[in-house]
Structure 1
Amino acid sequence: MQVTVLGAGIIGVSTAWHLLQRGHTVTLVDRQPDAALETSFANAAQISVSYCEPWANREAPLKALKWMFSATSPLLFRPQIDPAQWRWGLQFLGQCNDAAFERNVAQLVALGSYSHAALKDVVAETGIEYHRLERGIAHYYTDQKSFDGAAGAAAVMQKFGVKRKVISRDELLKIEPALTAFANRIVGGTFTPSDESGDARVFTQQLAALCAQRGAQMLYSHDVEAIDATGGSVQQVRVRDRATGATRALKADAYVVACGAYTTPLLKRVGVQVPIYPGKGYSATLPLLQPDKAPQVSMIDDQLKIAMSRLGNQLRVAGTIELGGFDLSLDTPLAKKRCEMLVKRIEEVFPGVADTRTPEQGGDPQFWTGLRPATPTNIPLMGRTTVGKLWVNAGHGTLGWTHGAGSGKALAELINGEQPAMAFDFYGMKPQTKAPMARTAQMQALPPSQA
């Protein structure tokens, strides 16, 4: 079967890889000159099955209202004259209850466990190196009220097979001594030894190179001009070479749209409406000044809802969600404040460990922003659309890296006529009530968002 995959982020490349593994012929299209140069470029670097929680919960509406008035809040709703934003917001509010939360967690964890196992399989087969650290993820709390709620969060994960445990401050410091300078601010934490971290961009680009070696046609620097659909089915996709302006028609037996937040406007052209809205996230990547004092365990700061991960001789800090349309600016006053907040927290938690100087001071912080493709439930859309031969694999929010390998595998299985071994309601297909021979990731101590 000939399959055209639109989008070369972690989701699209993983889909292409698993299609090739099943003997299909693949063409991979992306507007950038290489894979993983948009949403997968500089995310939080965490494979966090233990953090597969939806944003929508019963406390979210009040928090979102409160956070609207803070430039550095974890979730910032910036009202636009955009019906899609308000429609998404209303759907999000509809998920802010306990029943929906638990229902959504069940599917997110199922996909997370399935994906973690798929990632391990790919790494074992390919030997890809991507600054992987199998040290777990620690989640620390700086106020007693939040820490008191940690037991409930851990219990939810344990219910679905994830061994996230509540730990004391002293236990946390034994797991990650690099937190010593910040210890007086910490009241406790949770730890999941089976989680891990690594560079999503490096992984994706190496996997894309292996796809090319296995015969995939890589059409980088190509824009999608049109999806031509007649008679209820896609006939071809027209793409344009950014360098030459030349256009070409791609004919295939199946087409996969894995374009992150840009999936929504692309599918809208053929009458397919999907509830995916861009959530702007930020990151800062900082050179290490004292590598021996840098953390080896990836972690989450509960107060600011940010993630910190070591990537070789650099430290990545990432987080925040900003719902304000397709805005990728880094030079606005708001964007600068959010970037400054990330760097300031690194200096507070790990003083002197990383170079937190501004460019004006002689530093070299690498700031980045990307658009997380968010659904109201946080559950990605993977499956068949109502248009013949057209499939979707998008809407992974902050969990694209966590869910990437498994999402690619699952969609490749569906296209191949197989049933993925997990309890998950695939887009455009009948809901499942239980998983056929469900496979979960190995939840063991050592090995172990955010996308």
Structure 2
Amino acid sequence: MRVVILGSGVIGVTSAWYLAQAGHEVVVIDRQPEPAMETSFANAGQISPGYSAPWAAPGVPLKAIKWLMQDLAPLRVAPMRDPAMLSWLVRMLANCNHQAYARNKARMLRVAEYSRDCLIELRRETGIEYDNRAQGLIQLFRSEQQLESAANDIRILESCGVSYESLDVDGILGHEPALKHVRDKLVGGLRLPGDETGDCFQFTQALAERCRALGVEFRFSTEIKRLQAEQGKITAVETDAGHVQGDAYLVALGSYSPALLAPLGIKLPIYPVKGFSLTIPITDATRAPESTVMDETYKVAVSRLGDRIRVGGTAELTGFDLSTPESRRANVEFVVNDLFAGSGDASAAELWTGLRPMTPDGTPILGRTRYDGLYLNTGHGTLGWTMSLGSARYVSAIISGTTPMIDTEGLSISRYNR
């Protein structure tokens, strides 16, 4: 079977890998000159199945108001007339209850845990390197209220069989000794030992080379214009370099997926949530993180990537604006300076922004559509790196007509039609 994949971020490239492994002829199309040049380029570096959770949670509407009013606000909503944003917000708020949160988190954990297992297997088979560290992730709590609020997440982790450790301050320092300088600012933490850290860009670039060795064809610097359909079947992709035909078509365009599919009458409830990251060269490794910590107060992650620190976080609902104002730098820079002062040269840091394709319930949209030959692998939000391999292997199985290795419940676009 000839499969045409639209998008060469980590989702598109991992999909190409598994489809090629299954014996398919694969063509990948992207407007960028090489793989992983957009959202996959400089994300926070977390491979965090244990931290997988929907934004839509009980109490989030009130928390969001508080976040908007913080000096270093982790959330910003632009005052703009955008029906797509308003529709997405309404659907997200409808999921802010205990029942929906438990259901959505369980779905996300199912994909993320499977994805982590797939990554371990791929790493063992290929020896691929990407500044990876498998030393877990620690959620840092600065208040007793945060510590108490973690109880609900712990119950869901237990129900899904996910390992965790509740840590006091001494326990945190045992894993992240550089935090000894700020122990008075911490009250406790939740460690997820199965979580990892790694450079998504390095990984995607390296895997793309392995895909080429399997015969995958990459067509870069190619603008995707539209999908052509006849009698309920996709017949071709129209690009600025001509038409590309296949037996199956997989959309892995992240935040840009809805615009491509809207003319076909497929409405994807995905909205771009803008995030920022800093990449800082390490100058004193003894003051740097060992793996990844997530500051729950500021919603910023600090990860160790080889001789660099990656600091990622904040969320902006500003449409497709990709500007990187220096004012937003303060949000992510504050956390690394507050927790790991003296660890790196912030003056040499690289500021980056990307658009995370968020669904209102947090779960990605995977698998078939109502069009024959058209499949989806999109909507991973902040967890594209975390869920990439599991999502790709899952969708590859569906395209190949085999049974996926995880439960299919609630993962397709049909969940929005109920």
TM-score range relative to shorter protein:
over 0.9
- Whole-angstrom CA distance in 1 between matches of 2:285 and 2:271: 38
Alignment partner, residue 208 of structure 1: 208
Equivalent residue letter for 1:337: S
> Do the aligned residues in 1 keep the contact of 2:140 with 2:296 (CA within 8 Å)?
yes
Structure with greater helix percent: 2
Per-residue deviation at 1:165? Answer: 2.0
Per-residue deviation at 1:208? Answer: 0.8
1:388–1:276 Cα change, 3 Å: same
Per-residue deviation at 1:70? Answer: 4.3
Alignment partner, residue 410 of structure 1: 394
- Whole-angstrom CA distance in 1 between matches of 2:413 and 2:324: 37
Per-residue deviation at 1:269? Answer: 2.5
- Cα shift readout 1:215-263 (whole Å, capped 9, x = no counterpart): 11100111102211122211111222xxxxxx22111000001000000
1:111–1:376 Cα change, 3 Å: same
Structure 1 stretches of 4+ with a deviation exceeding 4 A read 428-431
Equivalent residue letter for 1:135: Q
1:268–1:158 Cα change, 3 Å: same
Alignment partner, residue 444 of structure 1: none
- Whole-angstrom CA distance in 2 between matches of 1:151 and 1:42: 31
User: Pairwise CA RMSD of aligned residues?
Assistant: 1.5
Alignment partner, residue 340 of structure 2: 350
Out of 290, 293, 301, the position equivalent to 1:296 is 290
- Whole-angstrom CA distance in 2 between matches of 1:121 and 1:429: 30
How many residues of Structure 1 are paired with residues of Structure 2 in the alignment?
415
- Cα shift readout 1:286-335 (whole Å, capped 9, x = no counterpart): 0111123322121111110111111111100001111121111013xxxx
Secondary structure of 2:322's counterpart equals coil
* Structure 1 gap ranges (5+): 241-246, 357-362, 432-451
* Structure 2 gap ranges (5+): none
- Whole-angstrom CA distance in 2 between matches of 1:221 and 1:120: 32
- Cα shift readout 1:81-108 (whole Å, capped 9, x = no counterpart): 1111111111011100000000001101
- Cα shift readout 1:182-210 (whole Å, capped 9, x = no counterpart): 11101111111111110011001111111
Out of 406, 411, 415, the position equivalent to 1:426 is 411
Secondary structure of 2:14's counterpart equals helix
Alignment partner, residue 185 of structure 2: 185
TM-score for the superposition, normalised by structure 2: 0.96
Per-residue deviation at 1:71? Answer: 6.4
Per-residue deviation at 1:156? Answer: 2.0
Alignment partner, residue 254 of structure 2: 260
Matched, 1:276 2:261: no
- Whole-angstrom CA distance in 1 between matches of 2:90 and 2:300: 26
Alignment partner, residue 97 of structure 1: 97
TM-score for the superposition, normalised by structure 1: 0.89
Matched, 1:339 2:334: no
Matched, 1:400 2:384: yes
1:89–1:71 Cα change, 3 Å: farther
Alignment partner, residue 436 of structure 1: none
Alignment partner, residue 160 of structure 1: 160
- Cα shift readout 1:368-393 (whole Å, capped 9, x = no counterpart): 10000000001000011122211111
Out of 349, 354, 368, the position equivalent to 1:365 is 349
Identity %: 39
Alignment partner, residue 448 of structure 1: none
Out of 287, 310, 321, the position equivalent to 2:315 is 321
Matched, 1:64 2:64: yes
1:351–1:430 Cα change, 3 Å: closer
Equivalent residue letter for 1:104: N
